[in-house]
Amino acid sequence: MPLDINGQTKLVGLIGYPVKHSLSPAMHNSAFAALNLNWCYVPLPVLPERLGEAVAGLRALNFVGANVTVPHKGAVMSYLDRVTPEAQAIGAANTIVVREGQGELIGYNTDWRGFLTALSEGGFDPQGERAVVLGAGGAARAVVYALAQAGAQVTVLNRTPTRAQALVQDFASLFPSMSLLSLPFTLQTLEERAAEAHLLVNTTPVGMWPEVDRSLWPEDLAFPNHLSVFDLVYNPRQTKLLRQARRAGVKVIGGLGMLVHQGAAAFELWTGEKAPVETMYEAASKTLRIAS
Ligand code: NAP
């Protein structure tokens, strides 16, 4: 927690709605304390119709920056002075930096980097590998961008096929030499695509608390043994999908690592210091244990 709040405390916030259950305040405040930084990270519940005012308020109130979460990651971009090419391509900014002196608001996306770091920590190198991504929402866009950047061939399976098509079309021009494909999510496409893939990534909320007994992987379908499974859901840490995969002897990676690494990348943008990743991991895990 912050060492001491005084006249020199620097402020960072989390703009979202709701933000009540976020792990980010605990994660960042522990990191500031570990590095003896007189900084404080506060939750900022912001309704969609007040987003513009809230973002302008960051400048007026001399915030150093902010994280942005659901439902504002896309909409926030129109209120910023500029966004990085990655955030522009993904269509979402989850981190804002307020440039000192000028008050310029710059939007970044650190989700894709968080995903790649967690993937590499889990021992998976996506270069040249075939990946299947379940879902085509905001998180899927960061994951597909990351996988394409890292040189993977990606198939997106989504319940609403037009959303997957739109995602793939958006990235096709950005990664003209990469193999990107979209298909409707059905048991048949899942079985066929997974059979020839090396990585399966769940970017849907299926399996998230309180619906912890749900998984998009059918009980009677065997996991190909060359598959690794990454689930972006981190509450619970061991989702049903990960339990199924683990039982089949398949390598699994949970979503908490991505959350911590996107946070670490944001922390480094704001502070210019190397993020204490272990401290952030412990704080996030502890808060998750208390909350569940
Ligand atoms: P989103 O924009 O609402 O997208 C959700 C996607 O999941 C959509 O493609 C949706 O399909 C699909 N979906 C939802 N329910 C489904 C179901 N019952 N069966 C099949 N598909 C279903 O959400 P998001 O922002 O991408 O977030 C998705 C999940 O990722 C959340 O659980 C979030 O907590 C997690 N996440 C984790 C991290 C991390 O750091 N670990 C970061 C970001 C997000 P349709 O298009 O058909 O509606």
Partners of residue 257 on adjacent β-strands: none
Instruction: Look at residue 4 in the predicted model and tell me its pLDDT.
Output: 85
- Mean pLDDT for the chain overall: 96
Q: Which of these ranges, 33-37, 91-95, 130-134, 222-226, has the smallest mean pLDDT?
A: 222-226
Q: How confident is the model at residue 1 (pLDDT cuts 50, 70, 90)?
A: low
Is the beta carbon of 231 within 6 A of some atom in ligand 1? no
Q: What's the gap in Å between 205 CA and the centre of ligand 1?
A: 4
Q: What is the mean pLDDT of residues 261-283?
A: 98
What does DSSP assign to residue 235? S
* Ligand 1 neighbourhood includes 237 CB (under 6 angstroms): no
Q: What are phi and psi of 158, to 5 degrees?
A: -140, 145
pLDDT band of residue 292 (cuts 50, 70, 90) is low
Residues 6+ apart with CB under 8 A from 243: none
Q: What is the pTM of this model?
A: 0.96
In Å, how far are 49, 73, 138 from 203, measured between CA atoms?
A: 27, 16, 9
Which of the 8 DSSP states describes residue 82?
Answer: E
Q: Give me the pLDDT at residue 63, please.
A: 97
pLDDT confidence of residue 66: 98
Tell me which residue has its CA closest to atom 2 in ligand 1: 137
* Residue 258 pLDDT exceeds 70: yes
Active site residues: 73
Say whether pLDDT at 127 is over 70.
Answer: yes
- Which 8-state DSSP code applies to residue 276? -
pLDDT, one tens digit per residue, over 54-72 is: 999 999 999 999 999 999 9
pLDDT, tens digit, 9 for 90 and up, residues 70-107:
999 999 999 999 999 999 999 999 999 999 888 899 99
pLDDT at 275: 98
Reported as a single tens digit per residue, the pLDDT across 175-192 is: 998 999 999 999 999 999
Q: Is the CB of 137 under 6 A from ligand 1?
A: yes
Q: Kindly tell me if the per-residue pLDDT of 3 is higher than 80.
A: no
Is 124 a residue whose pLDDT tops 70?
A: yes
Q: Is 206 in the pocket of ligand 1 (CB under 6 A)?
A: yes
For the cut 70, the answer to whether the pLDDT of residue 233 exceeds it is yes
pLDDT of residue 102: 81
Nearest atom in ligand 1 to the alpha carbon of residue 234 is: 41
Share of the chain above pLDDT 90, in %: 95
Q: Which residue reads 């210091």 in tokens?
A: 273
**Which is it for strands 65-68 and 95-98: parallel, antiparallel or unpaired?**
antiparallel
Q: Which residue among 94, 165, 208, 232 has the greatest number of ligand 1 atoms within 8 angstroms of its CB, and so is best to mutate?
A: 232
User: Cα(66) to centroid of ligand 1, in Å?
Assistant: 23
Q: Which two tokens stand for residue 292?
A: 């569940």
Mean pLDDT of 252-274: 98
Average pLDDT on 134-144 reads: 97
**For residue 22, is pLDDT > 70?**
yes
